[in-house]
Structure formats: C-alpha cells, structure tokens
Structure 1
Amino acid sequence: MYKPIEIDREKLTIMGVQFPDRETLENIASSIGSCMFEGFEPSKKTVEIIRDYVTDKITLTQVIE
C-alpha cells in the first residue's frame, strides 16, 4: 500500500534529509514516488544514499556495497 513520505519544499528535505537545491529535491522525490507505486518503501538511510549518489558524493560501486 502506498504511504506518503514527508517532503518539505521550503526546507529542501525529504524525510528530514537535506538537499542542495529544489531541482534535485523535485527530481528525487518524483523518482522515489514512482518507485513507491511499485512497492519500494524508502527509509531515511535510502534517501540519503540516493541523494549522495545523485550529487556525486558516492559512486555506484559504493551504492551497491
């Protein structure tokens, strides 16, 4: 069942995870939302990992690990 997640567009956060800009936040929120309709249940940690990957703080290899 789909369960909404907390998105604060003024503070640029998803589930309390800070994003560098609104465009990145919106893109990731949209991607997470699409995945949630397929059964993905995000946690704060998975949101952090996605943010770090998209902003080039970690590599795909690190994501997989």
Structure 2
Amino acid sequence: MYTSIEIDRENLTLLGVKFTDLKSLESTANAIGTNMFEGFEPTKELIQLYVDWKSQLISESDFLKKLYAIYGK
C-alpha cells in the first residue's frame, strides 16, 4: 500500500528536510515515491543523509557506510 509523504513545496522540505531548490526537491520526491510502490519506507534520517551527500557535506564512502548502518542489517 502506498503511503503519502510530507512535501512542502513552498518551504522546500520533504519530511521536514530542507532542499536548496524546487527541482531537487521534486526529483527526489519522485524517485522516493516510485520506490515506495515497491515497499520502500523513507525516513527523515535517510532523506537528510541523501541531501548531505548531494550537497557534498559528506563523502560518498561516508554516505554508503551510514546507509549500510541504517539498512544493511
């Protein structure tokens, strides 16, 4: 079953995570929404991790380590 997620285009947030621009917000929301049809359940933590990686605040290796820590169990 598909569950909606909180998207605020005016404030550029997805599940409360701030994006830099509307294009990034919408493309991320679309990708997440597509995966939700397959059973994926996004979290604020995961979206923040993705934003940090895309903004180059963390390296790709750190992104993958943290991602594995969340979902690799």
Return the TM-score normalized by structure 2. 0.80
Gaps in structure 1 of 5+ consecutive residues: none
Per-residue deviation, 1:52? 1.6
CA RMSD across the alignment: 1.0
Give the distance between the partners of 1:50 and 1:11, measured in 2 at CA. Answer: 18
Give the distance between the partners of 2:55 and 2:38, measured in 1 at CA. Answer: 24
2:31 corresponds to 1:49: no
Gaps in structure 2 of 5+ consecutive residues: 66-73
Could you say which structure has the higher helix fraction? 2
User: Percent identity among equivalent residues?
Assistant: 45
Return the TM-score normalized by structure 1. 0.89
Larger radius of gyration: 2
Structure 1 stretches of at least 4 aligned residues deviating more than 3 Å after TM superposition: none
Give the AA of the match of 2:8.
D
